Chains A and B, each alone.
Chain A
């Protein structure tokens, strides 16, 4: 029997000490591996490939469930529109604003979560009484169901609510800040919820990164008389960089999807001023039933994210290959 792939066979024969003839073992292993990944592959194809194809199909039409009485989705070709949806989308003010808003939210919350998390993780390097309890208290937000977090802050942000009350007692004058109904304030409120919920994750990642740093280098720097800032800039930061990159990517990936707290707190309002990509798509898909329009939007978003993901996933891929070697 011939080994299908000479190179891999050779590499394998060094490690494999089976009494069974090598070639058999290799073929068996490959086949067994194939069976193992089969269910995952099938699920992926079932859920991703078919919906993708039908999304592309629908996106090229003008069909909607309301388009004509009784016309099914596969009859959408009767409303064929080529790239009209795409062309209209990239000139649609609401869609572009939703994309822009999402980018702004991600660009604001991720760095803030990172800096807060970094500060917290440095604070938690010291020993102090009640450290374990405080650590747990800080971790709780990230385990709260996001929809519940949204509702909690909905209560907190009411005009006659605790946040306004605390602020007015600090500033010693009555305040009536419309957190959820002001156009800009509503976005800030949403950012606050995201920061509250996900700073703990940054903190957890960075703390575990800091704790696994080799201590002798830092100690050597102390002996050599390096200042705190020098120690951070020249030693801690470079060593921590891979962890930081991964933390930022993971958080950025999830932040783009933001939906639950917004839907609970403002349903995209006032007007459209808190519509992010997900909220825009949900509204147009399930309130206005513009299915072909939303399909085109979905495809556009996926193209953008696919391009971004090639770069974003690079560090994780590199780490994987490094571990495999």
Chain B
């Protein structure tokens, strides 16, 4: 069923236009990060479609303490380290609980309604429950502490970790660990020595997926951190100057730093993105 040539060309043009439209904002933040002050400031009164004099000034600005616009007292170094620490530890928590629960659910039908409670948890807007959590955290002195943040991250991404890992465990034939049990392995031994090594790829993909989710959070960090443990998105939202207003250039530079890891990791695990985001309901 060959289509007429002009239809195919029209369709191709449509694809190109749509792809460009979707890519334009990405292009914009990328180039903005390398524009010098005169090109990004609103005072310029005109638009620079590409950096005429590309510079690393914006990156210098966010990493230097003494700023030429004397806007901020804090550099972006802490928020970047904070983001890394809380995302990684949050991922570890979600993965440990998630891998175990997923195996229990997949192999032993354990947990009863747990899998669906987890899905339901995912439906609730986190804001609906964040005030009591904040009170609880204030009580336990966990506000603006890394461990206060990572526990919430672990719970919020637990549904994804559990459901995605479950699909990987479902793919491993039951006979393999039964054989190990016949050979005298305990259940635990079979899990550690047979199943986990087989699920290595799945564990790595799930961990990267959960990391992306933690890294992308804004609301929870906004509520539960104050000064010491702000993450990159919170820092971006605070990056303002009394003198020049919105610091487009430096904000874009920091935004670019925030955007790169999820894009790289996302492309790396592209195969499992759909599976992860649909809780394994769509397995392709």
Spot the interface stretch: B52-60, B199-207, B263-271.
Answer: B263-271
B14 within 8 A of A: yes
**Number of B residues, CB within 8 Å of A:** 102
Mark contacts of B72-98 with chain A using CB atoms, 8 A cut-off: 1 yes-contact digit, 0 otherwise: 000000000000000000000000111
Bound-state CA distance A253–B24 (Å) is 27
Chain B hits for A37, CB < 8 A: 100-101, 104-105, 110-111, 114
Chain A contacts for B1, CB-based, 8 A: 222
Let me know if B42 and A158 touch, CB within 8 A: yes
Who on chain A is nearest to B248 by CB? A155
Given A48-B129, A196-B25, A323-B170: A144 touches B47 (CB 8 Å cut-off)? no
CA of A309 to CA of B282, assembled, Å: 19
**One of B121, B218, B248, B278 near A263 (C-beta < 8 A):** B218
Q: A295 at interface (Cβ–Cβ under 8 A)?
A: yes
Contact with A along B88-130 (1 / 0, CB 8 A): 0000000011101101110111110011111111111111111
Given contacts A39-B101, A149-B25, 7 further A-B contacts (CB under 8 A): A29-B187, A34-B104, A124-B15, A152-B25, A211-B284, A253-B123, A285-B127
- A-B contact list, 18 entries, CB within 8 Å: A29-B108, A33-B104, A35-B104, A38-B100, A52-B132, A55-B131, A138-B18, A140-B263, A143-B267, A145-B215, A146-B216, A155-B248, A160-B45, A162-B28, A162-B47, A259-B125, A264-B218, A313-B116
6 nearest interchain CB pairs?
A33-B108, A33-B110, A36-B104, A298-B128, A51-B132, A40-B101
B: residues with CB less than 8 A from A are 1, 8, 11-12, 14-16, 18-19, 22-26, 28-29, 32, 42, 45-47, 49, 96-98, 100-101, 103-105, 107-111, 114-133, 135-136, 139, 151-152, 154-155, 158, 162, 170, 174, 178, 181-182, 187-188, 212, 215-216, 218-219, 222-223, 232-233, 236-237, 246, 248, 251-252, 255, 258-259, 262-263, 266-267, 270, 273-274, 277-279, 281-282, 284
